[in-house]
Chain A
Amino acid sequence: DTEVTQTPKHLVMGMTNKKSLKCEQHMGHRAMYWYKQKAKKPPELMFVYSYEKLSINESVPSRFSPECPNSSLLNLHLHALQPEDSALYLCASSHGRFANPADTQYFGPGTRLTVL
Chain B
Amino acid sequence: KNEVEQSPQNLTAQEGEFITINCSYSVGISALHWLQQHPGGGIVSLFMLSSGKKKHGRLIATINIQEKHSSLHITASHPRDSAVYICAVSGIPDSWGKLQFGAGTQVVVTP
Q: What is A's interface to B at a CB cutoff of 8 Å?
A: 31, 40-43, 45, 48, 55-56, 88, 90, 92, 94, 97-110, 112
User: Known contacts A92-B43, A99-B97, A112-B41; can you find 17 more A-B pairs with CB under 8 A?
Assistant: A31-B97, A40-B104, A41-B103, A42-B86, A42-B101, A42-B102, A42-B103, A55-B96, A90-B41, A102-B48, A103-B97, A105-B33, A105-B99, A108-B42, A109-B41, A110-B41, A110-B42
Shortest distance between the CB of B94 and any CB in chain A (Å): 12
Query: Whole-angstrom distance from the CB of B103 to the nearest CB of chain A?
Result: 6
CA separation between A100 and B45, bound complex, in Å?
Answer: 17
Known interface pairs A101-B90, A102-B31. Does A45 touch B98 (Cβ–Cβ under 8 Å)? yes
Using CB atoms, name the residue of chain B closest to A100: B97
**For the complex, is B64 an interface residue (Cβ under 8 Å from A)?**
no
B interface, by DSSP: helix, strand, loop or mixed?
Answer: loop
Name 7 A/B residue pairs within 8 A (Cβ), A-sorted: A31-B97, A42-B86, A43-B99, A48-B98, A102-B30, A102-B50, A107-B35
One of B42, B90, B91, B103 near A109 (C-beta < 8 A):
B42
- From DSSP, what is the main secondary structure of chain A's interface residues? loop
Tally B residues with Cβ within 8 Å of A. Answer: 25
- Chain A proximity of B29: nearest CB distance (Å): 8
- A92: which B residues are within 8 A, CB to CB? 43
In the complex, which of the residues B35, B91, B96, B104 has the most CB atoms of chain A within 10 Å of its own CB atom?
B96
Contacts of B31 in A (CB 8 A): 101-102
Partner of B101, one of A43, A88, A97: A43
The winner among A31, A101, A104 for most chain B CB atoms within 10 A is: A101
B44 at the interface (CB under 8 A from A): yes
Q: Nearest Cβ in chain A — how far from B83, in angstroms?
A: 13
A residues less than 8 Å from B90 (CB atoms): 101-102
